[in-house]
Chains A and B, each alone.
Chain A
Amino acid sequence: MREALVLLLAGSGALALESALLAHAPAALVPSFALLFPMAAALLLGPFAGLWVCAALGFGADMLSSALFGQHALLRLVEFVAVRAIAGQFDLVRPVPFALFAFGLALADAAASAALIQFFLGSFETDLRSLGGVALRAVATAVAAPLVLALARRVASLGGELDPRREMRLETKRPVL
């Protein structure tokens, strides 16, 4: 439990840092900590604690955005399931698979956000520049992903012993939820 709280605090700090960096640097160069920390929590923590940390960080991101309230939280919940499902098949704790998965998930997150906007607000319009920015940001997120995972592991270990997740790769029939 303590490791979940420590990770939640670190994730909240990272959210504030992301928001502050966005005010001073081009958005395409700022990794999405709002996505990476929940991913790390889903991977490093137990399923129950991971679920709550993902939801809490999602609501935190909602507070730092004018998006529909609950939108980030919902996406983080879906992404929690995705991370745990993929971790059952691949060794996501290794840097390269985690970075590649983060890249894909960042793009999927942007697409899902667009779908939610379309559904709840009735229309979604964007331009090529914005789409390019989303793609570049997914690259920045992928580059930062292994570092964030290492940091999250270090931070979480301050709160207590982490469960090794290695066996998840072997139990391919293990239920996600």
Chain B
Amino acid sequence: MGDFFRRIRLPLAFAALVLLTTFFMIGDQRAARGERVDAPWPLSALLEAAAPIQRAVRWPIERVRGGWAEYVALVDVGRRNDALRGQLAALEEENLQLREALVESGNLRRVAAMRREFESELMPARVIGQDVSPYFRSLLLDRGRDDRVLSGMPVVCDHGLVGLVTATTPNASRAMLLVDRRAAVDAVIERSRALGIVRGAGTDSLEFAFLVRDADVRVGDAVLTSGIGGVYPKGLRIGKVVSVQANKADLVHTAQIAPAVDFGQLETAFVSLARGPSMRLLYEGDGDAQSDTSEVAAP
């Protein structure tokens, strides 16, 4: 009996692990449809443990890159630059939201109400790692729950929308980029107000799908978040239309968008410390704010 068990324990363990991974993948697929799936704590622990290593790797690279500039008595410039970029990102966001509101109604009181609704604190976070898979796009940030960063919070930078926080630990978090193949954002063309959905494709460009009857989409048009869907604030810059694919027979046309953010060069991002209404519905009400080790998929 013991000998038999010894002989089958390896195939048994293999089969059990294959079943487990398949179970996790099906669970994650469910998450992509809006259901929430928690990551097991040992794996969240790995994300947490990885952060110091990644900071340690970042340190010499940063020193080499910025060493000379700092050597010439510019020690505080990097830090001040980070702070100013944070302010710039906040002002850009506010400015876009104001422009959005003015375009819509011209009613300044409504503008003020909207500012109150969307104004949120921005937490600067350094990019300490990238996705290890060639087909998916995410960032690891050096801020986590201890800095009030939670899953479902939008991530922005001074050029526009970056993505969404999808997993957090006390000192680190993972953010799914806008260009990830699982990311989707409700968007609007700034000029014509044509609505659609921007989807990532896992490459460096985005796809904007829009209904033909609303369509007035031209090359060069700016694409902003529409606020519909309740995940991202309204008026964040997504990118610019670079080409439009129109097939008269189709009800839905698509346009290619060049993202406003250069994700490959991103060193600092800002986490908006307020979840959108949909993310609040998904996460709050189960004590999640204190013990958030969850995974969230695209809206």
Residues of A bordering B, CB below 8 Å = 12-13, 15-24, 27, 32, 34, 47-48, 51-52, 55, 58-74, 77, 81, 110, 113-114, 116-117, 120-121, 124-127, 129-130, 133-134, 137, 177
Contact = CB atoms under 8 A, between A and B. Distances in A.
B140 A64 contact: yes
Contact of B21 (A15, A74, A121): A74
B133 interface: yes
B28 interface: yes
Nearest to B24: A70
B73 interface: no
A137 B29 CA distance: 28
A20 B57 contact: yes
A24 to B, nearest CB: 5
25 contacts: A16-B49, A16-B54, A16-B57, A20-B129, A22-B131, A23-B129, A27-B134, A48-B13, A51-B17, A59-B46, A60-B46, A63-B167, A64-B129, A65-B133, A66-B136, A66-B137, A66-B177, A70-B22, A73-B20, A74-B21, A121-B181, A125-B203, A130-B134, A130-B203, A177-B11
B135 interface: yes
A64 B17 contact: no
B272 to A, nearest CB: 19
A114 B136 CA distance: 11
B166 A24 contact: no
B197 to A, nearest CB: 15
Q: Which 8 A-B pairs have the closest CB atoms?
A: A70-B24, A19-B129, A20-B57, A16-B50, A22-B130, A66-B138, A16-B53, A70-B21
Interface residues of B, number: 59
Contacts of A133: 134
Contacts of A130: 134-135, 202-203
B130 A69 contact: no
A155 to B, nearest CB: 15
Nearest to A58: B21
A67 B135 contact: yes
B53 A67 contact: no
B18 interface: yes
A21 B53 contact: no
A23 B138 contact: no
A71 B18 CA distance: 10
Nearest to B65: A24
Given A48-B9, A68-B29, A77-B18, A134 B128 contact: no
Given A63-B50, A120-B29, A121-B181, 5 more contacts: A23-B54, A48-B13, A65-B136, A69-B24, A74-B21
